[in-house]
Amino acid sequence: MITISVLVTLSIPSALSLKDKRSVARSLVERLRQRLHIAAAEVGMQDLVQSGQIGFAVVSGDRATARHQADEALRFVEDDLIGRAEITNVAREEYDLDA
């Protein structure tokens, strides 16, 4: 089993309050869950107004499939955030639980 976890760090310069920031983060997390059926959550920088971190993970029995799903999710995040936030960093880890 292959698990890929991705941590996306965001800059949200238009956010003037935590409520503004969380509306961006929550909508992104919900769209990842609903459209791509992957686990996602706001996982860091929760008290910073103009920064945030979203984490998501994919699991598959096949490395190529897991990588494809993670790449698709990252492209989705990039497209979804256009005009609302910028990605400042992406950290990605792969785990092979069969090894």
| Domain CATH for 40 | 3.30.70.1120
| Residue 9 CB burial class (10 angstroms; 0-12, 13-18, ≥19) | middle
| pLDDT of 32 above 90 | yes
For 12-25, the pLDDT digits (tens) are: 999 999 999 999 99
Contacts of 11 (CB under 8 A, 6+ apart): 50, 51, 85, 86, 87, 88
Query: How many CB atoms lie under 10 A from the CB of residue 51?
Result: 18
Q: What residues make up the domain containing 75? A: 2-96
Q: How many domains does the chain have?
A: 1
Predicted structure pTM score? 0.92
